[in-house]
């Protein structure tokens, strides 16, 4: 028991879970008992004797406890992979700053105040340094808190650079090696991704329909009829559980991806971004005002149409959500356009006259014709001309846009402006970094596109059509013995199956939407996918059931 507590304490620490070991063990045991009881009660519908049910309960408890024991390990590894995903970029940024003669402590602080996935760890290190801990000891704590050999390697290198007073060249080389390793890891993952996606479709559609075919054949010819509760249990528990296990496996196998910032739902910054996007579209309304007007409009339209088409009119109530997700998509699209122009714009800035002040650099990029990026620099230039400081004008640009790379470029430009250093070399190196990062993001996006579209198209089109077609084939299986009992059993199975499949499709679309949103790193977008795919899935299933007969 003592060894178990020590292991759990270490894993909880690396998972960044501030939970006492005794509390975790207590609640784990309680949860395992409850889950085992619920699962045993479900299994008891298959008429097992009490001793067998007790053994099943014990086995389930052991299985759930082993899962709960490994949860901190899984979280720690996932957290380490997340930190690893952009740690090389952060380290390269430190190298660029050191080459600009920025003090080591300041470079670490800048990373801590940025939006890297490893920024939280550097923030803890900065807090320790402010409390009197030496820089090497504070950095070593990062290696202790993160379950990653890559992190340990880079931390050791950071300490070496600090103690030796070296520039950032060595750090940049190490970062490049790790970025290449990430690229190889994604290529390796892409090789098995198509197989996993096809397996997901097969398990989600073919397995349930084959189960239905077996039920009809068994009830019609083998005289082993099943109950309605067995069908509901299979479609509401067994098949969704298989889908969840496969989704978790794919998610666990997917390397962490570079993604744009995902703001909290209706947070202050998201409101600024959405208001700015409405301005870009030529609207004078604030986003909250638009949502209020759309809500009132959709409510009035739903009430009027209810008189003509009944409950289907309630779909119109989703109009505000549809507009909200369309706005998020447009913001993301604009951010991608800005990021595509960033390397060229920075290389252009690096060719400007040496010693040119930051105000003129901002003005030149604004006039250089780099699409939405130049538009943003023009706005910053106008703010500078009316008396707003360069730093605040650049920070305002940062707040208006949902771009991870733009945030980092702005942070670098502000650092250059504050230190008064010549920015040309730093800007050139940053442009090269962003070009590499854009290539890496494109490779990751193309790798995930197959997975994303297979699952979304599967949830919206293939799975409902396959299930409706096979259900029609099953409907065509006629009993040899046409007595009333056989016909009644067959009809009951088919009626229950028809309802259970529709509920299963809702669960499947929900799981697919959640999975794709997780892979994109923007959890709330699952609502948009769900609202889009659910009606398509149910309509295609109904269409296939009524018209695709064989």
pLDDT of 262 > 70? The answer is no
The b-or-e profile of 160-173 (16+ CB within 10 A means b, else e) is ebbeeeeebeebbe
Query: In this predicted structure, what is the pLDDT of residue 24?
Result: 86
Percentage of residues in the chain having pLDDT higher than 90: 0
Could you read off the pLDDT of 19-29 as tens digits, one per residue? 888 888 888 88
Q: What is the mean pLDDT of the chain?
A: 79
Residues 294, 298, 300, CA angle at the centre, nearest 5°? Answer: 120
Q: Give the tokens for residue 144.
A: 């202790």
| Residue 78's pLDDT band (cuts 50, 70, 90) | confident
**Across residues 533-548, what is the average pLDDT?**
77
Q: Give the tokens for residue 405.
A: 């790379």
**Number of neighbouring beta carbons within 10 Å of residue 20:** 10
First-to-last C-alpha distance (Å) of the chain: 62
Query: In this predicted structure, what is the pLDDT of residue 336?
Result: 82
Q: Out of 8-22, 68-82, 418-432, 489-503, which region has the weakest mean confidence (pLDDT)?
A: 418-432
Residues 343, 348, 352, CA angle at the centre, nearest 5°? Answer: 145
Could you read off the pLDDT of 319-352 as tens digits, one per residue? 888 888 888 888 888 888 888 888 888 888 877 7
**Across residues 259-281, what is the average pLDDT?**
73
Long-range contacts of 530-537 (CB under 8 A, 24+ apart): 531/318, 531/321, 531/322, 531/325, 532/460, 533/456, 533/459, 533/460, 533/509, 534/506, 534/509, 535/315, 536/460, 536/461, 537/459, 537/460, 537/461, 537/463, 537/464, 537/505, 537/508, 537/509
**Residue 286 main-chain phi, psi, to 5 deg:** -80, 160
Query: In this predicted structure, what is the pLDDT of residue 542?
Result: 81
| Residue 110's pLDDT band (cuts 50, 70, 90) | confident
pLDDT of 65 > 60? The answer is yes
**Across residues 457-465, what is the average pLDDT?**
75
Query: Among 476, 550, 455, 532, which Cα is nearest to 203's?
Result: 455
Q: State the Cα–Cα distance between residues 358 and 421, nearest whole angstrom.
A: 11
**Across residues 294-317, what is the average pLDDT?**
81
Cα pseudo-dihedral 15, 19, 20, 22, rounded to 10:
-100
Cα–Cα distances in angstroms (integers) from residue 127 to residues 54, 134, 289, 300, 335, in the given order? 53, 11, 41, 54, 32
Q: Out of 110-124, 324-338, 356-370, 409-423, which region has the weakest mean confidence (pLDDT)?
A: 409-423
Total-model pTM: 0.69
Q: Give the tokens for residue 334.
A: 């604009």
Q: State the Cα–Cα distance between residues 396 and 515, nearest whole angstrom.
A: 34
Helical segments of 133-222, H only: 135-145, 149-164, 169-220
Contact call for residues 370 and 389 (beta carbons, < 8 A): no
Q: State the Cα–Cα distance between residues 116 and 411, nearest whole angstrom.
A: 12
Q: Out of 12-21, 225-234, 333-342, which region has the weakest mean confidence (pLDDT)?
A: 225-234
pLDDT of 423 > 70? The answer is no
Q: Which residue has the higher pLDDT, 359 or 439?
A: 359
pLDDT of 395 > 80? The answer is yes
- Domain residue ranges in the chain: 84-181, 334-434
Query: In this predicted structure, what is the pLDDT of residue 257?
Result: 59
Could you read off the pLDDT of 138-151 as tens digits, one per residue? 988 888 888 888 88
Q: State the Cα–Cα distance between residues 443 and 438, nearest whole angstrom.
A: 9
Long-range contacts of 473-479 (CB under 8 A, 24+ apart): 473/213, 473/550, 474/209, 474/212, 474/213, 474/216, 476/550, 477/213, 477/216, 477/217, 477/220, 479/220, 479/221
Helices H / strands E in the chain, number of each: 21, 0
Q: Which residue has the higher pLDDT, 107 or 424?
A: 107
**Across residues 253-279, what is the average pLDDT?**
71
Residue keyed to tokens 């784990």:
28
Cα pseudo-dihedral 220, 223, 229, 230, rounded to 10:
-90
Query: In this predicted structure, what is the pLDDT of residue 175?
Result: 79
Query: In this predicted structure, what is the pLDDT of residue 119?
Result: 85
Highest-pLDDT range among 48-57, 383-392, 422-431: 383-392
Could you read off the pLDDT of 441-458 as tens digits, one per residue? 776 667 667 667 777 776
pLDDT of 550 > 60? The answer is no
Q: Give the tokens for residue 500.
A: 């259970």
Query: In this predicted structure, what is the pLDDT of residue 47?
Result: 64
pLDDT of 41 > 80? The answer is yes
Query: In this predicted structure, what is the pLDDT of residue 264?
Result: 65
pLDDT of 312 > 70? The answer is no
Could you read off the pLDDT of 411-420 as tens digits, one per residue? 777 777 776 6
**Across residues 474-496, what is the average pLDDT?**
68
Query: In this predicted structure, what is the pLDDT of residue 481?
Result: 58
pLDDT of 103 > 80? The answer is yes
Query: In this predicted structure, what is the pLDDT of residue 166?
Result: 80
CA 142 to chain centre: 25
């Amino acid at each position: 028991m003592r060894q178990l507590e020590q292991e759990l304490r270490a894993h909880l620490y690396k998972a960044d879970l501030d939970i006492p070991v005794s509390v975790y063990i207590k609640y784990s045991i309680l949860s395992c008992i409850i889950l085992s009881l619920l699962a045993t009660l479900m299994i008891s519908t298959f008429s097992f004797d009490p001793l067998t049910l007790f053994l099943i309960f014990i086995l389930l408890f052991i299985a759930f406890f082993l899962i709960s024991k490994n949860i901190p390990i899984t979280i720690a590894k996932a957290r380490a992979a997340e930190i690893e995903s952009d740690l090389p970029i952060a380290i390269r940024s430190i190298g660029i700053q050191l080459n600009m003669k920025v003090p080591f402590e300041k470079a670490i602080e800048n990373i801590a105040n940025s939006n890297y996935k490893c920024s939280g760890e550097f923030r803890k290190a900065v807090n320790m340094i402010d409390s009197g801990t030496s820089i090497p000891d504070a950095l070593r704590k990062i290696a202790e808190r993160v379950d990653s050999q890559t992190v340990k390697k880079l931390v050791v290198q950071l300490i070496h650079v600090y103690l030796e007073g070296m520039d950032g060249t060595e750090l940049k080389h190490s970062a490049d090696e790790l970025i290449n390793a990430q690229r190889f890891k994604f290529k390796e993952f892409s090789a098995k991704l198509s197989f996993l996606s096809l397996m997901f479709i097969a398990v989600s559609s073919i397995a349930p329909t084959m189960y239905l075919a077996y039920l009809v054949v068994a009830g019609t010819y083998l005289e082993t009829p099943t109950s309605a509760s067995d069908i509901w249990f299979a479609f509401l528990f067994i098949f969704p559980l298989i889908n969840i296990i496969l989704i978790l496996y794919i998610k666990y196998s997917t390397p962490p991806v570079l993604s744009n910032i995902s703001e909290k739902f209706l947070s202050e910054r998201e409101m600024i971004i959405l208001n700015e996007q409405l301005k870009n579209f030529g609207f004078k309304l604030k986003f909250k005002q638009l949502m209020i007007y759309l809500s009132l409009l959709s409510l009035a339209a739903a009430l009027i149409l209810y008189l003509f088409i009944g409950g289907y009119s309630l779909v119109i109530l989703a109009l505000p959500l549809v507009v909200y997700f369309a706005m998020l998509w447009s913001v993301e699209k604009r951010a991608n356009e800005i990021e595509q122009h960033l390397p060229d714009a920075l290389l252009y800035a690096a060719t400007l006259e040496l010693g040119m002040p930051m105000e003129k650099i901002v003005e030149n990029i604004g006039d250089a014709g780099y699409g939405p990026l130049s538009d943003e620099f023009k706005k910053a230039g106008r703010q500078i001309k009316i008396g707003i400081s360069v730093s605040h004008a650049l920070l305002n640009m940062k707040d208006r846009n949902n771009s991870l790379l733009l945030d980092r470029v702005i942070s670098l430009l502000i650092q250059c402006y504050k230190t008064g250093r010549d920015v040309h070399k730093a800007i050139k190196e940053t442009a090269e970094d962003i070009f590499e990062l854009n290539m890496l993001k494109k490779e990751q996006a193309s790798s995930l596109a197959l997975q994303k579209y297979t699952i979304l198209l599967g949830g919206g089109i293939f799975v409902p059509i396959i299930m409706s077609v096979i259900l029609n084939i099953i409907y065509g299986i006629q009993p040899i013995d046409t007595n009333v009992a056989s016909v009644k059993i067959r009809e009951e199975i088919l009626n229950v199956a028809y309802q259970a499949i529709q509920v299963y499709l809702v669960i499947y679309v929900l799981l697919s939407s959640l999975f794709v949103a997780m892979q994109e790193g923007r959890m709330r977008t699952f609502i948009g996918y769900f609202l889009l795919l659910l009606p398509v899935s149910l309509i295609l299933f109904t269409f296939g059931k009524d018209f695709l007969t064989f």
